[in-house]
Amino acid sequence: MAVQNPPVSQTRSFSTVFLIEMWERFGFYGMQVLMVTYMMKKLGFVDTHANLVWGAAAALIYATPAIGGWVGDKLIGTRRTMLTGAVVLMLGYALLWIPSNDPYLTYFALGVIIVGNGFFKPNAGNLVRKIYEGDDTRIDSAFTIYYMAVNVGSMISMTLTPWIRDVVGAAYGDAMGWHTAFGACAVGLLLGLGNYLLMYRTLAHIGSPADERPLSMPRVAGVAAAAVALVFVAAFILQSLLVAKICVYAAGLVILGIFLHLIRSSERTERAGLIAALVLTVQTIFFFIFYAQMATSLNLFAQHNVDLSMNVFGLHLFNWIPEQYQNLNAIWIVVLSPVLVLIYNGLGRVGKDPSVAAKFALGFAAVALGFFMYGFGALGAVGGQVSSWTMIWGYGLYSLGELLVSGLGLAMIARYVPARMGGFMMGAYYVAVGISQYLGSVVANYAHIPEGLADPVQSLAIYTSLFNKLGFVGLGCTAIAVAVLPLMKKLSNSHAEHAAAADPLPPVRSEEGWELPG
């Protein structure tokens, strides 16, 4: 008689995905924190060009998961596709390690990163969804903790890579500093892959049906050939801003068309959930226009108009490196995530947990206050320089909003979208995020600093004008999110009724965690 392995707990399976996601985000954000500044200082781009190139890259980075989710669901399996993505990402960061300031090498490296992210991102999120499938009580908390993984990795790398650039650059030359910092991102992925190989057995029972089938070599060869072709396509798009703009707007129309087609062709019992997901996805697009400011306008604001001295009650502690202010986002996420999880679980136990739509409305209000904080800080600026504390509190509010909107975006897909569409809809969600990343770079260019303008008082007025406008737009988004709450409640109730009718047995609690009966 065969001896069966004991069941693996949700926590152990979740930890495996959590850790590889943490290292993957270490690499991504370590690269992102430097890229716009690198393009300006080493490739010679003006701020508007650098913003749009990064915006196009970010759009593609978020768009390719639509393909990667389908590959994971249908072709080679969710687990295998996630692992492939991590390897490809490591190669992309290794290309940026090469000490060359050729923009075409940068475009090619970004193309590799775009494809690697497309394989990795939707399948990692879909594994978390599958671990907690059917457990609505814990799924918001699980995705909030999962979102914290993003920020543990990014918190470390966004502090580390600017420091590596400056230290190595001072010792071995400026060019070596930049490329060594990018190389640290590749090392982070290598560590993540090593850790995954030690823990992968905890995911053996989680995945798509394709994970259970033997690999088909013709299918693998086809996926590899398509991936190589996509790298060159992405590099071509990045070097032509007109092509990038056309692709982004076309992608928006395609995603809207896909959503409408799925809603029309879905089962009547699935329709309410899909409409709810569409409404929340549109709100997410608006949120990520705000989010895109972190690597663009807020980053450049720190370069021009922030006092880098960190003081507490008049005592000087240290000086920031301008790019490191982006790290405040990750720090606040790590601090606030456990607090929100406790709140969600506590309210959930008494049946008072706010809906995802209500959390989105609160998130927009927090984001609006965050951007107003930068304008408020400018009132006390000395010589065009605002205090570092302005950045700390502005990022704090902004990050709270991010947790309430972006942190629950994946949970929203997991809650409302039928399981058979899970991987694809995770990908579609990321395409919508990518579109807003590009739109965010367009918005950031409203704070363009004219060439030769060196007066910080003048640049302060340019940046705070943009930030105050974004604050008012955030208030408008809050009002709209509140206005659609009755509709969202109706859709959510309809979705829950149909789900209960399809599966009337509630989840039960076992010693290993929550599981569905039968």
Q: Is 31 part of a structural domain of the chain?
A: yes
Q: Is 369 part of a structural domain of the chain?
A: yes
Distance CA 396, CA 101 (A): 35
Alpha-carbon distances, residue 151 vs 69, 100, 290, 304, 511 (angstroms): 23, 30, 18, 26, 30
- Give the CA-trace dihedral at 222, 58, 173, 449, to 10 degrees: 150
Q: Is 254 part of a structural domain of the chain?
A: yes
Q: Tens digit of pLDDT for each residue in 241-295?
A: 888 888 888 877 877 777 677 767 666 666 666 776 777 777 778 888 898 899 8
Maximum pairwise Cα distance, the chain: 80
State residue 28's pLDDT score. Answer: 92
Q: Of the candidates 171, 74, 121, 198, which has an alpha carbon nearest to the alpha carbon of residue 429?
A: 121
Q: Tens digit of pLDDT for each residue in 355-410?
A: 777 888 888 899 999 999 998 999 988 889 999 999 999 999 988 988 887 655 55
Q: In this structure, is the dihedral angle defined by the CA atoms of residues 63, 64, 67 and 73, taken in order, positive or negative? A: negative
Query: How many domains does the chain divide into?
Result: 1
Q: Is 121 part of a structural domain of the chain?
A: yes
State residue 432's pLDDT score. Answer: 78
Q: Is 223 part of a structural domain of the chain?
A: no
3-state secondary structure of 452: coil
Residue type for 77, please? Answer: G
Give the domain extent around 405.
10-211+236-515
Distance CA 138, CA 515 (A): 11
Distance CA 147, CA 14 (A): 12
Q: Is 155 part of a structural domain of the chain?
A: yes
Residue type for 418, please? Answer: P
Tell me which DSSP letter residue 469 carries.
Answer: H
| pLDDT lower than 70: segments of the chain | 1-9, 133-141, 143-144, 147-149, 207, 259, 263, 265-273, 276, 406-427, 488-489, 491-518
Q: What is the share, in percent, of the chain residues with pLDDT greater than 70?
A: 81
Q: Is 1 part of a structural domain of the chain?
A: no
Q: Is the separation of the CB atoms in 72 and 82 below 8 Å?
A: yes
The reply to whether the predicted model has a pTM over 0.75 is yes
Alpha-carbon distances, residue 117 vs 66, 81, 84, 228, 457 (angstroms): 11, 10, 10, 14, 40
* Beta bridge partners of residue 515, listed in sequence order: 508
Distance CA 369, CA 398 (A): 8
Distance CA 355, CA 332 (A): 23
Assign residue 197 the CATH number of its domain: 1.20.1250.20
Q: Tens digit of pLDDT for each residue in 300-329?
A: 999 999 999 999 888 998 999 999 999 998
Distance CA 110, CA 89 (A): 9
State residue 202's pLDDT score. Answer: 79
Q: Is 395 part of a structural domain of the chain?
A: yes
